[in-house]
Structure 1
Amino acid sequence: MRVGIETRDDGLAHVTLRRGEAGNAIDLEMARGLLDAARACTRKPVRAVLLTAEGKSFCVGGDLHEFHRLSGAALEKHLIAVIDALHDALRIFAALDAPMVAAVHGVVAGAGIGLAAAADVTLAADNASFTAAYTGIGYSPDAGVSWLLPRLLGPKRALDLLLTNRRIPAAEVAALGLVSRVVSADELAAEAARTAEALRRGPTAAFGITRRLVAAGLIADLGPHLDREARALAAAAASDEGREGVAAFLGKRAPDFTRIPPRT
């Protein structure tokens, strides 16, 4: 299996890229593995998703060796199959209430940037480096990169990365806003696990509402978005999570959101 998925009974889903010997390059099998992992997160109550990768690099992008073996219509058909599976996985992860934490290290290139940027919290090891890579080989972006980078960095900085393909160290990537924070390579796994665990114990439905509000706010006018916020907050306050959160605050105790089952 090129993608591992463990959905624990406590609500944590751990997705692992397991093609480390090839830099976790995305071929058709891995793209379909990511889709299977995403679908698994919809079949069992999930409170948080942790995305990690084996080997020296998080993900070097698409598998150019696989693509180079094909040409013409066969190549186009194959790439559509790879990209459709990858994009369907990203759509499913984005639609979950459960937030996603990504831990990235080594080379993060091409579609690897899309996977890293799609997470709600992205932790980068201090040895990580990022490069868009697409136009360097005559390709255009996929994995949501042309949608995510302008929103995270602004169009000028996004185009700088997409057109020049310069390799950017983790510290600069954090300053640009592509990752949440940088940690030492030795601490990456532990810090990612701690972050995912904290989110797992949180108010999953409220997380889902917040994720969707932030996404919608990027393209909405202020007036309609304020109305959307008002309706969402009223519903959240009346929910089991909202009542538990307020009761815990007034009772001067820690809330226990884990007793409230997340939606599937």
Structure 2
Amino acid sequence: MSSPSDTLLSERANGVLTLTLHRPDVLNSFTREMALALQAALADAATDDQVRAVVITGAGRGFCAGQDLAEALPQDGGPIPDIGEIVKASYNPIIRAIRTLEKPVLCAVNGIAAGAGANLAFACDLTIAADDASFVESFAKLGLIPDTSGTFFVPRLVGMQRATGMFFLAGKVPAAQAKEWGLIWDVVPKAELMTTVMAMATQLASQATRGFGLTKRALNASFANGLDAQLDVEAQAMHEAGKTADYEEGVRAFLGKRAPVYQGK
């Protein structure tokens, strides 16, 4: 296991890049260093053909408790840091990187996911949580607003009333309830979390990566498009998918009645 930073561990195997938030003593709360390390790792994954799926998880007993508030307080009697600038520099680039990375991004939530940690999980393509995990939109307790794409994804996943309740009341949403509401893909026993997620990631990494990327591009576009515009997006994406080596391999495998061997190209 390598580390671009002591706060983020990185491991590659079978086409899967696993990124582990690594500040377990403070529930992996984000510092600028950790945010920049995650940004850099996602940027590298986008250009590395050997990476065909990404898993984000946390070390220790929690996934991520959000912003480390020590960095958001005045230092040595100085001015209060601009929280908006922290969001712009730390969290917005991470969400943009996840959504524009044309490879599957899975999230393994191993414990509490609060604030930016919860919204990071909701922004991933497939999120699986341990059965004892929970999610908290904790911003209201500090007089802040949800960031890290929370106001974008949460109402689209659960509807306006539930999103407002999560944001205003700032209560814990247990993993089972998060699945029932459609916030996450699945819940598994904690002891099986990483085995389950890595099996899924490895399966996805062996499939047609470009097809996944184009599907993700179309899903992203659907948030802003009407029907006519989205039909055009689908046609263009299908045009590109039809020119890939993986599509050709898929057709040949189908006609030859054999399992396809995809190269992610």
TM-score, normalisation: structure 1: 0.92
- Which deviates the most, 86-95 or 67-76? 67-76
Equivalent-residue separation in structure 1 for 2:73 and 2:19 (angstroms): 28
Distance 1:53 1:185, change over 3 A: same
1:41 is the counterpart of 2:45? yes
Aligned residue for 2:81? Answer: 75
Q: How does 1:221-232 map to 2 (within 5 A)?
A: 221-232=226-237
Q: Distance in 2 between matches of 1:137 and 1:52?
A: 25
1:21 aligns with 2:25: yes
In structure 1, C-alpha distance between the alignment counterparts of 2:91 and 2:136, rounded to whole Å:
19
Q: Distance in 2 between matches of 1:123 and 1:102?
A: 6
Aligned pair count?
Answer: 258
- Report what 2:16 is aligned to: 12
Which residues of 2 match residues 13-162 of structure 1 at below 5 A?
A: 13-45=17-49, 46-70=51-75, 73-76=79-82, 80-81=85-86, 83-162=88-167
Match of 1:198 in 2: 203
- Deviations for 1:191-213, whole angstroms, at most 9, x for unmatched residues? 01101101100111110110111
CA distance in 2, matches of 1:84, 1:195: 31
Secondary structure at the aligned position of 1:143 is classed as coil
Residue 96 of structure 1 deviates from its aligned partner by: 1.4
Percentage of identical aligned residues: 35
For the Cα contact (< 8 Å) 2:15–2:202, is it kept in 1?
Answer: no
After superposition, what is the alpha-carbon deviation per residue over 1:204-252, rounded to whole angstroms, capped at 9, x for unaligned?
1110110111121122111121122122213312321111111111211
Tell me the TM-score normalized by structure 2.
0.91
Question: Superposed, which structure 2 residues align to 1:151-230 within 5 Å?
Answer: 151-230=156-235
The answer on 1:254 being equivalent to 2:262 is no
CA distance in 2, matches of 1:89, 1:172: 26
CA contact (8 A) 1:4 1:37 kept: no
Give the letter aligned to residue 103 of structure 1: A
Q: C-alpha displacement at 1:185, in angstroms?
A: 0.4
Aligned-partner Cα distance in 1 for 2:87–2:12 = 24
Question: AA paired with 1:63?
Answer: D
Contact 1:173–1:179 (Cα < 8 Å) also in 2: yes
What is aligned with 2:3? none
Structure 1: which 5+ residue stretches go unaligned? none
Q: Which amino acid aligns with 2:27?
A: G
- 1:89 to partner: Cα distance: 2.2
Equivalent-residue separation in structure 2 for 1:214 and 1:198 (angstroms): 21
Q: Aligned pair in 2 of structure 1 residues 72, 210: CA closer, same or farther (>3 Å)? A: farther
